[in-house]
């Protein structure tokens, strides 16, 4: 038989306390932020799938030719983008938006590292000006969408 101290616990109390709402008070996400995050996740998933399925073709779109043996590197970037896009899609933290902010910040970090890598490759001559401009333009569009999405969260 259970001791009386165990049986007297109020069974209606939740096991874990609710998460703090970070001051958002359940207000809906702005249409602009929602649209920016939606566009970002579609771009990430689309680009990720393209890099995984057709890495040489995807690089050719950006005027960057890769040798056959280097396709695995493009596929790795594709997996990264696919995961970041999926995290934006599957986030269900609509009240506090804490997790959504974390995922958007992870996207910002990935695009910032991409910009630094592009600048380094351009400075060392391992990447031409046209592909560097196209890659940097894509990262800049991503950063813009992320900043726009983050403003309303």
Under 8 Å between Cβ of 55 and 74: yes
pLDDT the model gives residue 55: 96
Q: What is the pLDDT of residue 93?
A: 62
Give the pLDDT of residue 12. Answer: 65
Between CA 127 and CA 35 the distance in angstroms is 33
Tell me what pLDDT residue 84 has: 95
55-81: per-residue pLDDT in tens? 999 999 999 999 988 999 999 999 999
Residue 9's pLDDT is 56
Of 138, 147, 146, 114, the residue nearest 47 (C-alpha):
138
Q: What is the pLDDT of residue 100?
A: 86
pLDDT beneath 50, residues of the chain:
23
Structure tokens at 41: 């996740």
At residue 97, the pLDDT reads: 80
Q: What is the pLDDT, as a whole number, of residue 33?
A: 87
Sign of CA dihedral 136, 109, 96, 40: positive
């Amino acid at each position: 038989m259970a001791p009386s101290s165990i049986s007297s616990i109020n069974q209606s109390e939740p096991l874990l306390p609710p998460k703090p709402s970070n001051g958002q008070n359940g207000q809906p996400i702005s249409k602009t932020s929602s649209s920016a995050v939606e566009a970002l996740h579609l771009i990430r998933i689309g680009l990720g799938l393209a890099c995984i399925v057709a890495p040489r073709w995807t690089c050719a779109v950006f005027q960057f030719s890769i040798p056959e043996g280097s396709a695995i590197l493009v596929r790795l970037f594709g997996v990264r983008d696919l995961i970041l896009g999926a995290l934006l899609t599957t986030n269900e933290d609509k009240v506090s938006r804490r997790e959504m902010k974390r995922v958007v910040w992870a996207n910002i970090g990935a695009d910032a590292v991409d910009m630094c890598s592009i600048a380094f490759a351009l400075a060392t001559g391992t990447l031409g000006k046209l592909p560097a401009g196209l890659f940097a333009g894509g990262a800049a569009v991503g950063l813009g969408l992320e900043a726009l999405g983050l403003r309303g969260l």
